[in-house]
Each structure stands twice: as structure tokens, then as C-alpha cells.
Copies of this chain bind each other. A is one copy, B any other.
Amino acid sequence: MDFVETRLRVRYAETDQMGVVYHANYLIWMEVGRVEYCRAAGMVYRDLELEGTLLAVAEVNCRYILPARYDEEVIVRTSLGESNARMLRFEYAIEDASSGTALATGFTKHVFCDRDFKPRKLPEKYRALFGLA
């Protein structure tokens, strides 16, 4: 699985007074893309968490190319950049759905941890889904 595409429509709540999407909201779209990537790979993130493993965010980066606008449909293309039993790195390309114009690119790094934020490994049953032995 190379990448997973998730389609979103920009909400009014996501805009700011520049007339475009407020920049922090792209991180929320990345979250939506990442969850759908995991679901497509065979891991429902909600279940992982119910089983006691959290995927905490360690780093985020986003480069903004062109502003996204209200009511536009955007596509978040999510791929797995790097993975080991302790961490995952996801990469994202966000584009306008109708024109294919690139809006932003970014990545997020995550570490597996328990409910007290102590590092732990991804449970074995999920490892193959992320290309791990």
C-alpha cells in the first residue's frame, strides 16, 4: 500500500479572517488522513488505544503552498515514510480535489507509548501492517 487518499470538504469553522483555512487545521486533516491510512492498512486506531497503546505525536511539519478555501474539497494523500516498532513517520500531500493543485506537504512523527506516555512497542499483531518483522 503506497498511499491512502482521504477526501474532506473545508468547513466554515476552519477558515480565518484572511479568507482561507487557518494553518493549524491542516494538522487536523493530517490526523484524519493518518487514521484512514491505518484503517486501510488493517489497524483501527481507536482499537489500538482501547488496547492500551497510544500513538503520541513527537513532531509535525507543514509547508504551505497555496491557501485552501471554504467549501473546497481537498484530498489528503497519506503515506508511511519510516517505521519501526517504536515509531512511525507519516508523510502527507494535500491538494485541491477538483484541480489537483498542491496546497501543502508535511510529515508527522509518532512514538508508541502507554497511557502514562512511557515508550512502548507496537503490539506484534499490528507490526506486519507497517512492514515490520
Find chain B residues with CB under 8 A from A82 CB: none
Find chain B residues with CB under 8 A from A54 CB: 18
A32 touching B45 by the CB < 8 A rule? no
Interface residue? A133 (CB, 8 A): no
Given the interface pairs A12-B17, A46-B71, the reply to whether A62 lies near B60 with Cβ below 8 Å is yes
* A97 to B77 Cα, complex, angstroms: 26
How many copies are assembled? 4
Find chain B residues with CB under 8 A from A61 CB: 59-62
Interface residue? A40 (CB, 8 A): no
Which residues of A25-71 are within 8 A (CB) of B?
A: 25, 27-28, 31-32, 35, 44-46, 49, 54, 56-64, 66-67, 70-71
Binary contact track A8-19/B, C-beta < 8 Å → 1, others 0: 010111011111
Name 10 interchain pairs, CB-CB below 8 A, sorted by A.
A11-B28, A12-B22, A13-B28, A13-B31, A16-B17, A17-B19, A17-B20, A27-B27, A58-B64, A59-B64
- Chain A residues near B (Cβ < 8 Å): 9, 11-13, 15-20, 22-25, 27-28, 31-32, 35, 44-46, 49, 54, 56-64, 66-67, 70-71, 115, 117
